[in-house]
Amino acid sequence: MTLSCIIVDDEPLAVKLLESFVSKTPDLTLLASFTDSVEAINAVKEQKPNLLFLDIQMPDLNGMELAHMIPSETRVIFTTAFKEYAFESYEVKALDFLLKPIRYNKFIAAVDKAREWFTVYCLQFTDDYSESPEGLANKSSVNCKPSTVNNNTTLFLKVDGEYRQIAISDIIYVSGMKDYVMFYLESERRPLVTYLRMKAVEEMLPPQQFMRVHRSYIVCLEKIRKVDRNDCIYIGDEIIHVTEAFLSAFQQYLSSKFPGSRS
């Protein structure tokens, strides 16, 4: 699978280093490089790269601000000397966070993570499931259409090196743990573990059926058995507390389904 990329960093030496990394990385194509973030934004919007290698601390328009302006199909790998931005980075479509000085092995690991994400992501949104994962991986570029997600009834997950197709209706809840997520299914005794981030899973699942209720949990709404007075959800074999960040949306859902529930 070939991924296209754009580099944005106000330090010319940092740009040259990343360009050298891209040039020796198979199936990674550089579309453009910029030291001016304001100049870069138009190119990113027009060319819609798969990946954006993006510095954070830049004049005029910083990386976090730019990341909120990029096309939905572009994913960010942040490159910065400031580790305090790591948590915030995952709220703006970031696939990874590379801390300067960047070593090539870390760069390669981030690109591999991106390939994994795009392979799984494309499999979700491919109308013709007769096309094999191998065939998708050999395409010259990534071109997925996320708008079809709500029409899908199945997902492909990479589990233990193999692609498993699961029915969305089989999912009870999803739990996240750093770079991995666990899918708990009605038909499986043990969860299926795959290399993804919760944000990516949230985008793959139909929002009318699933809701994120905690930083680490997404639940199938129709499979909730009960919700207690402490805002704890009983689902499957798990009790999940709805955290403050997600409580308002969840209570609105309850209000729409159960007249008389707390608002």
Condensed to tens digits (0 to 9), the pLDDT of residues 151-197 reads 578 888 888 878 888 999 999 999 998 778 999 999 998 999 988 88
Banded model confidence at residue 112, pLDDT cuts 50, 70, 90: confident
> How far apart are alpha carbons 113 and 128 in whole angstroms?
25
User: Is the pLDDT reported for residue 207 higher than 70?
Assistant: yes
CA 261 to centroid of chain Cα atoms: 33
How confident is the model at residue 162, as a pLDDT?
81
Banded model confidence at residue 11, pLDDT cuts 50, 70, 90: very high
Give whole-number Cα distances, 97 to 71, 211, 214, in Å.
19, 26, 22
How confident is the model at residue 129, as a pLDDT?
38
Identify the H or E element spanning 116.
Answer: helix 104-124
Least confident of 11-20, 75-84, 236-245: 75-84
Mean pLDDT of the chain: 83
Give whole-number Cα distances, 251 to 90, 151, 230, 231, in Å.
25, 26, 12, 9
Spatial contact of 33 and 15, defined as CB atoms under 8 Å apart? yes
Residues 106-116, mean pLDDT to the nearest whole number: 88
**Sequence-separated (6 or more) residues with CB below 8 Å from residue 146:** 72, 73, 121, 125, 203
State pTM to two decimals: 0.55
Least confident of 62-66, 121-125, 134-138: 134-138
Specify the higher pLDDT residue, 145 or 96.
Answer: 96
How confident is the model at residue 21, as a pLDDT?
97
Which of 77-91, 107-121, 150-164, 204-218 has maximum average pLDDT? 204-218
User: Is the pLDDT reported for residue 140 higher than 50?
Assistant: no
Give whole-number Cα distances, 114 to 2, 109, 204, 224, in Å.
11, 9, 16, 33
